[in-house]
């Protein structure tokens, strides 16, 4: 998390830094800050909360300097206040940092003994003092090299120096960092998105590398301090214009955009004329893969769980699913015939990236399902399947979830056909239904009033549960995650059949419980589980699909019916009311829907 921007120019930079920081708020919005160099001094201004607060500060508006660094923070060490906000500066050096310095306490103790005085509770401040200390004996490049060696943990750094009016240093270990090139000015950013409004010419730093950015050129160094040459990439220079339109929140807009997400995905990956799947360049032969391991975090992990049901149903592959932060530290048995699929909206999630890196180091086959195609995960995977859902701004992932499960469903069909597990005729029927899906999602999106009403009950409850079986179980987890992340209501997702093994003890009179029971192979079993919670006083909101058969069950508090389709695709439709439930609950509570407390859109620390 956290976002970095640096500009070395011959024009004043503060206004451009502030504008770039606004774009970077998806990485953190606890506090923000800027430091520039003018008249031989480092000026630092920081504020708690959003970049707007920083911008309103009259000192920022009059800030001088043609070289500067800025930062938006997601707190790791020390509470989110203006003292802990970045940049952190000594008289000689100013630093912005993404990541975590794991040996900061040891380093701090050593520096305090040498007379350094600390102002903040952050791990970052040790970097400032270390560089200051090392500069006493070394030139800039050597002092940076020495400092980086002393740091343990992960970082992306932007550094300016009081005595260097034409120099920004950038350094990377673990956290992504990019350099951008402009006319008579050059830039540093935590990703290319941060730089896109200024340039489309980008160089990405690799782990361990650092760079020295001057106005007219940039030099790159290896971890050992040797000069290296790096490629300049030219990205598409189309900057996506993205605003809320007539919607109150990005999330509301993104929920409504889901039929377009599905249409785009279907157009890209389905050859409607020949009923084929347009994934032709898979770099491995069909007999080189016998198992698939799907890895992600949060909502992306739920996409992986969802995909497991499809891969098992439609292919003969062994399927496993893992949470990236667990996978990366376990003793995995890497097997040559496994395909590792990394699912991520941002493509920058630190744990997912580390899991990919681990697989690459073990020579495994890697595939990325991502939204941001310039991201680290996309760049470093062997094979990439973009989800094409456009920028997702709301911290709560909505259209990216539907985009991810669409691509994973299509991939399961493709591998099913390639391996001879799925016949052409069955594929054609499945594709026919898939092409009807965007329309069905559009119709399901019209259910609104009932969800608004039931959200009042959820808002008054101490906690809630989301239950489902089979294909609906990952959707229950996703519904619970959405509700807790947006409305801060405790919500637990559970397999409906597992309730009697413990969680049933939580059910008390009036507790709202969402039961996902579409008319699929699991329907009757789920309805029985629903009765078990009703019998113990739960207020059940049943979400099912439209059918000629009435639901034969009593004492259901409310029922919402989504459209009907084949059972593979029902999860797409069940997701919609759950997203809306979370949205309306947060709306009624008056919470910040697009930027919920304590969270960030892109989780770039582990």
Contacts of residue 41, defined as CB under 8 A and 6 or more positions apart, other chains included, come to 162
Among 76, 299, 464, 575, binds ligand M6R (CB under 6 A): 299
Least distance to ligand M6R, CB of residue 546, Å:
28
Q: Distance (Å, rounded) from C-alpha 261 to C-alpha 392?
A: 11
Task: Tell me the residue ranges of DSSP E strands in 482-538.
Answer: 490-495, 512-516
| Per-residue mark of binding to ligand M6R, 481-520 (x: CB under 6 A) | x---x-----------------------------------
User: Which C-beta is closer to ligand M6R: that of 88 or that of 601?
Assistant: 601
Among 294, 300, 314, 441, binds ligand M6R (CB under 6 A): 300
Least distance to ligand M6R, CB of residue 591, Å:
14
User: Which C-beta is closer to ligand M6R: that of 55 or that of 606?
Assistant: 606
Q: Is 21 in the site for ligand M6R (CB under 6 A)?
A: no
Taking contact as CB under 6 A, which single stretch among the options 216-224, 260-268, 341-349, 497-505 is the one that binds ligand M6R? 341-349
Q: Is 175 in the site for ligand M6R (CB under 6 A)?
A: no
User: Which C-beta is closer to ligand M6R: that of 125 or that of 485?
Assistant: 485
Least distance to ligand M6R, CB of residue 510, Å:
27
CA 79 to chain centre: 23
Sign of the Cα torsion 144, 149, 152, 155 reads positive
User: Which C-beta is closer to ligand M6R: that of 88 or that of 580?
Assistant: 580
Q: ∠251-84-166 over CA atoms, to 5°?
A: 95
Q: Is 397 in the site for ligand M6R (CB under 6 A)?
A: yes
Q: Which of 215, 430, 482, 601 is catalytic?
A: 601
| Per-residue mark of binding to ligand M6R, 347-376 (x: CB under 6 A) | --x--x------------------------
Q: Is 395 in the site for ligand M6R (CB under 6 A)?
A: yes
Least distance to ligand M6R, CB of residue 344, Å:
3
Sign of the Cα torsion 189, 192, 194, 197 reads positive
Q: Is 306 in the site for ligand M6R (CB under 6 A)?
A: no
Among 190, 345, 567, 604, binds ligand M6R (CB under 6 A): 345
Q: Is 430 a catalytic residue?
A: no
322: left (phi over 0), alpha (psi -120 to 50) or beta: beta
Residue 61, Cβ density class (10 Å: 0-12 exposed, 13-18 middle, ≥19 buried): exposed
User: Which C-beta is closer to ligand M6R: that of 499 or that of 576?
Assistant: 576
Task: Tell me the residue ranges of DSSP E strands in 12-122.
Answer: 31-38, 41-48, 67-73, 88-89, 93-101
User: Which C-beta is closer to ligand M6R: that of 196 or that of 302?
Assistant: 302
Q: Is 267 a catalytic residue?
A: no
Least distance to ligand M6R, CB of residue 395, Å:
5
| Per-residue mark of binding to ligand M6R, 449-488 (x: CB under 6 A) | --------------------------------x---x---
Least distance to ligand M6R, CB of residue 353, Å:
9
Site size toward ligand M6R, by CB under 6 A? 16
Question: Hey, is 482 helix, strand or coil?
Answer: helix
Q: Is 529 in the site for ligand M6R (CB under 6 A)?
A: no
Query: Is the backbone peptide bond immediately before 606 cis, with ω within 30 degrees of 0?
Result: no
Half-sphere exposure of 526 (CA within 13 A, CB side): 27
Contacts of residue 422, defined as CB under 8 A and 6 or more positions apart, other chains included, come to 314, 315, 413, 416
Q: Is 415 in the site for ligand M6R (CB under 6 A)?
A: no
Q: Is 603 in the site for ligand M6R (CB under 6 A)?
A: yes
467: left (phi over 0), alpha (psi -120 to 50) or beta: beta
Task: Tell me the residue ranges of DSSP E strands in 378-520.
Answer: 383-386, 463-468, 490-495, 512-516
Distances (CA, A) of 532 to 206, 520, 554: 55, 20, 12
Q: Yes or no: say if 354 and 170 are a contact pair by the CB < 8 Å rule.
A: no
> Got the DSSP string for 96-120?
EEEEEETTHHHHHHHHHHTT----S
Residue 534: which H helix or E strand, with range? helix 523-534
Least distance to ligand M6R, CB of residue 127, Å:
26
User: Which C-beta is closer to ligand M6R: that of 186 or that of 602?
Assistant: 602
Q: Is 396 in the site for ligand M6R (CB under 6 A)?
A: yes
User: Which C-beta is closer to ligand M6R: that of 396 or that of 496?
Assistant: 396
Contacts of residue 106, defined as CB under 8 A and 6 or more positions apart, other chains included, come to none
| Active-site residue list | 2, 601
**Which parts of this chain interact with ligand M6R (CB under 6 A)?**
297-300, 344-346, 349, 352, 395-397, 481, 485, 602-603
């Amino acid at each position: 998390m956290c976002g970095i921007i640096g500009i070395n120019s011959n024009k004043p930079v503060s206004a451009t830094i502030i504008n770039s920081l606004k774009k970077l708020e998806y990485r953190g919005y606890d506090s923000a800050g800027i430091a520039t160099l003018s008249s031989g001094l480092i000026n630092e201004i920081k504020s708690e909360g959003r970049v707007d607060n920083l911008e309103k500060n009259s000192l920022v508006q009059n800030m001088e300097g043609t070289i500067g660094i800025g930062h938006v923070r997601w707190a790791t060490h020390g509470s989110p206040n203006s003292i802990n906000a970045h940049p952190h500066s000594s008289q000689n050096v100013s630093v912005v940092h993404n990541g975590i310095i794991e040996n900061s306490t040891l380093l701090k103790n050593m520096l305090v003994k040498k007379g350094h005085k600390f102002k903040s509770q952050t791990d970052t401040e040790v970097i400032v003092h270390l560089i200051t200390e090392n500069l006493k004996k070394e030139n800039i490049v050597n002092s940076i090299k020495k400092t980086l060696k002393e740091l343990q943990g992960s970082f992306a750094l932007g550094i300016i120096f009081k005595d260097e009016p034409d120099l920004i240093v950038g350094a990377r270990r673990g956290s992504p960092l990019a350099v951008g090139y402009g006319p008579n000015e050059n830039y540093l950013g935590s990703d290319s998105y941060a730089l896109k409004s200024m340039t489309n010419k980008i160089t990405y730093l690799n782990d361990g590398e650092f760079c020295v950015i001057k106005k007219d050129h940039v030099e790159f160094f290896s971890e050992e301090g040797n000069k290296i040459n790096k490629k300049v990439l030219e990205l598409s220079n189309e900057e996506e214009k993205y605003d809320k339109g007539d919607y109150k929140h990005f999330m509301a807009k993104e929920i409504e955009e889901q039929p377009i997400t599905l249409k785009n995905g279907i157009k890209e990956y389905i050859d409607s004329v020949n009923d084929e799947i347009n994934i032709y360049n898979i770099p491995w032969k069909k007999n080189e893969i016998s198992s698939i391991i799907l890895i992600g975090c949060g909502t992306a992990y739920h996409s992986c769980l969802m995909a497991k049901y499809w891969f098992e149903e439609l292919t003969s592959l062994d399927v496993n699913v893992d949470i990236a932060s667990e996978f990366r530290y376990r003793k995995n048995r890497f097997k040559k015939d496994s395909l590792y699929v990394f699912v991520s909206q941002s493509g920058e999630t630190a744990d997912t990236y580390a899991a990919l890196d681990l697989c690459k180091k073990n020579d495994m086959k890697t595939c990325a399902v991502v939204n941001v195609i310039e991201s680290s995960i996309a760049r470093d995977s062997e094979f990439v399947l973009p989800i094409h859902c456009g920028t997702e701004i709301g911290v709560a992932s909505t259209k990216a979830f539907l985009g991810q499960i669409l691509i994973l469903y299509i991939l399961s069909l493709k591998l099913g056909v390639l391996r001879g597990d799925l016949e052409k005729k069955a594929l054609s029927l499945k594709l026919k239904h898939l092409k009807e899906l965007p329309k069905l999602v559009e119709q399901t999106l019209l259910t609104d009033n009932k969800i608004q009403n039931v959200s009042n009950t959820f808002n008054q409850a101490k906690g809630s549960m989301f239950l489902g079986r089979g294909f609906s179980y990952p959707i229950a987890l996703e519904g619970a995650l959405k509700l807790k992340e947006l409305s801060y209501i405790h919500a637990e997702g559970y397999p409906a059949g597992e309730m009697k093994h413990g969680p049933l003890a939580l059910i008390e009179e009036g507790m709202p419980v969402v039961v996902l029971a579409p008319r699929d192979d699991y329907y009757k079993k789920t309805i029985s589980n629903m009765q078990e919670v009703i019998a113990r006083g739960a207020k059940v909101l049943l979400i099912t699909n439209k059918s000629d058969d009435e639901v034969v069950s009593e004492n259901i508090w409310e029922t919402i019916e989504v459209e009907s389709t084949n059972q593979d695709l029902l999860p797409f439709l069940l997701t919609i009311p759950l997203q809306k439930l979370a949205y309306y609950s947060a709306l009624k509570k008056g919470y910040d829907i697009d930027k919920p407390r304590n969270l960030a859109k892109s989780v770039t620390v582990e």
